[in-house]
A and B are shown apart, each in its own frame.
Chain A
Amino acid sequence: MATAHAEPNYMAIFGWLFVLTVVEIGVIFLPIAKLLIAIMLVGLAISKAALVAMYFMHLRFERRTLAVIAATPMLLCVLLVFALLPDHSAVPHQSAASSPRPAAAPK
């Protein structure tokens, strides 16, 4: 059993998750720059994920080792995103509709 502590107020966490979700949906309709919207959405998503991880999954009250295990993929995924960035234009991405139809194959 993790260190003794009062049970977190799960309904309060639920309330926050609900509010953050509503805010997220509202943000995409704001008449501001797309980049700003993207930053806000990422921030909101990370906040929600952190609430679930720290309180529902109990990480806040566990031994540090578990938090390190949980945080490692987050760090690695950020690195992964940056590692893939140079390849984003390596393959031309055209839908079947926008690419020219290939010439008929010889029989």
Chain B
Amino acid sequence: MSQVAAVHPGVEPAESPLTPESWGKLGMWLFLAGDAMSFGGLLAGYGAIRFGSADWPVPAKVLGIQLTALMTFLLICSSVTMVKALSAIRKGDRRGLVRFLLGTILGGVIFLGLQAYEWTHLITTVLPPQGLTFTQHLFGTTFFVLTGFHGMHVTGGVIYLSCIAVQGARGKYSPERNDPVELVGLYWHFVDLVWILIFTFVYLL
């Protein structure tokens, strides 16, 4: 019997050394692997379209890099607060857990606000004169589909984080029982990771 199973009898004894200790983590990782394929499909399709295009504009000239850099920094910070939230509840610091979860949520909400501002600016002012809107050019189509799909994930993540924060505030988590916090963390880091890739391939490359 593994040492883990001996210490945590609530967990089934592992059938093999390959079985993860936590079913929740296994489930979340499997979900994230599938979600990664969704984003991967969109990014690969974007690459194929862009690679074969004769008149693709230079993204750095059309899109606002400064604002996007701030958004990237924001999401990275929110990943740090997320990791600190998990660390807090593992030490039994419930107030720290809720505080850092709220910080993560705040990061996500500000990110969405900045994205809404960016989209509005692009849709009303920047793209139409250059003929690059959602319907006029695949540049616009791929941009809005990619960032929109990601933005939906951030929105879902903010809602998910809020649910966990409420449960945390109610004292449902402890150093012994904090799997749900770890799982929401995995989802949130995934959202950050995808943004890192989108930032690189859509804005910078």
Residues in A lying within 8 Å of B, measured CB to CB: 1-3, 7, 10-11, 14, 17-18, 21, 24-25, 27-28, 37-38, 41-42, 44-45, 48-49, 52-53, 56-58, 62-66, 69-70, 72-74, 76-77, 80-81, 84-85, 87-91, 93-98
Contact = CB atoms under 8 A, between A and B. Distances in A.
B131 A96 contact: yes
B137 A1 contact: no
B120 interface: no
Contacts, number: 148
B150 to A, nearest CB: 14
Interface of B: 4, 7-8, 17-21, 25-26, 29-30, 32-34, 36-37, 40-41, 43-45, 47-49, 51-55, 60, 65, 69, 72-73, 76-77, 79-80, 82-84, 87, 131-132, 136-139, 182, 185-186, 189-190, 192-193, 196-197, 199-201, 204-205
The 9 A-B residue pairs with the shortest CB-CB distance, nearest first, are A88-B52, A77-B40, A45-B200, A73-B36, A97-B131, A84-B48, A95-B137, A93-B53, A89-B52
Given A63-B17, A63-B19, 16 more contacts: A18-B76, A24-B204, A27-B204, A44-B200, A45-B201, A52-B189, A52-B196, A66-B25, A66-B29, A73-B36, A73-B37, A77-B44, A85-B51, A88-B49, A89-B52, A93-B55
Nearest to A82: B44
